Amino acid sequence: MIIQYSALPDFNDRVVLAPLIPVTFCNSKYEFSTFALVDSGATGAVISTVIAEALNIEWDKIQISEGFSVGGSLRSHRFDGIRVNIYDHDFTLSVGIIEGISPYKCILGQRDLFQRAKIVFEAYKEQFEVMFRQYN
C-alpha cells in the first residue's frame, strides 16, 4: 500500500510533511484512532498519556522508566498487550507511554510495525509504501 506523506500537526507557521499512518489502538472495550508517525529511527512504539487515558490505561500507576531521545530526557511507563489495527492488520504490541509529549502523539518504530511489514520510504516523492508480511 502506497501512502502519501501528510502534514504534521502542531506546525502553525509551516508545513512539515512526514510518513503518517492511520492506526486504531484497542484496550479491552476502549478504542482510540489516530495517526502515527512511522519512524525508522525509533526503537519501539510510544503513545502520549492522552491516548493512554482514552484507552482507560492507568499509566500513572505503572512503574516509571527514565530514558533519553533526540529531544532530551523522558519519563515513560511500559504497557504490554495493546491491540493495534492498521489497514485491517491486527497485532499486539508493547508501548511506552511518554509523559509530556503532545497530546495525540504516537510513533511506531522498529520493534513493532517494522517487524510486521516492509517499509520503503520515498521522501523525494513524498510517499512511503507498507507491505505487510503474510503469517500462516
Domain count, the chain: 1
Give me the CATH number covering residue 78: 2.40.70.10
Helix (H, G, I), strand (E, B) or coil at 31: strand
Residue 111 pLDDT > 70 = yes
Cell of 11: 506546525
Q: Report residue 28's pLDDT band, with 50, 70 and 90 as the boundaries.
A: very high
Residue 68 pLDDT > 70 = no
- Containing domain of residue 46, as a range? 2-10+17-132
pTM of this structure:
0.87
Q: What's the CA gap between 80 and 77, in Å, rounded?
A: 10
Phi and psi at residue 32, to the nearest 5°: -145, 120
Residue 114 pLDDT > 70 = yes
Q: Report residue 34's pLDDT band, with 50, 70 and 90 as the boundaries.
A: very high
